[in-house]
């Protein structure tokens, strides 16, 4: 599945700088992926978000671009 979401030109969602788009990767186990990224020396954003539709975390790639990780809920929340 591919989703394209548009943001306002003045959005701060992508972080500081000139970044105009963000890669969002769907993952099965957010904590395990973050552990692997951390072990590899990635710059992990300490902020986490939990929503009705899943958990989110971010890291920066080697070029400094912010990348979003999304773990959808495995079952709908009660």
What pLDDT score does 8 carry?
Answer: 86
> Torsions phi, psi of 15, nearest 5?
95, 180
**DSSP-H helix ranges across 1-78:** 30-39
Please indicate whether residue 39 or residue 5 has the higher confidence score (pLDDT). 39
Q: Which two tokens stand for residue 44?
A: 């992990």
Asked whether 68 and 29 are in contact (CB, 8 A), the reply is no
Q: pTM of the entire structure?
A: 0.81
> Torsions phi, psi of 69, nearest 5?
-115, 135
CATH number of 24-71: 3.10.180.10
* Alpha-carbon span 48 to 36, nearest angstrom: 17
What is the domain partition of the chain in residue ranges?
24-71
Read off the pLDDT of residues 12-35 as tens digits, 9 standing for 90 and up.
888 777 788 888 999 999 999 999
* Alpha-carbon span 33 to 37, nearest angstrom: 6
């Amino acid at each position: 599945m591919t989703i394209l979401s548009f943001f306002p030109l003045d959005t701060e969602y992508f972080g500081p700088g000139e970044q105009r788009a963000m890669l969002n990767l769907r993952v099965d186990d957010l904590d395990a992926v973050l552990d692997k990224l951390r072990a590899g020396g990635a710059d992990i954003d300490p902020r986490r978000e939990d929503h009705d539709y899943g958990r989110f975390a971010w890291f920066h790639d080697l070029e400094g671009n912010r990348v979003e990780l999304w773990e959808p809920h495995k079952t709908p929340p009660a």
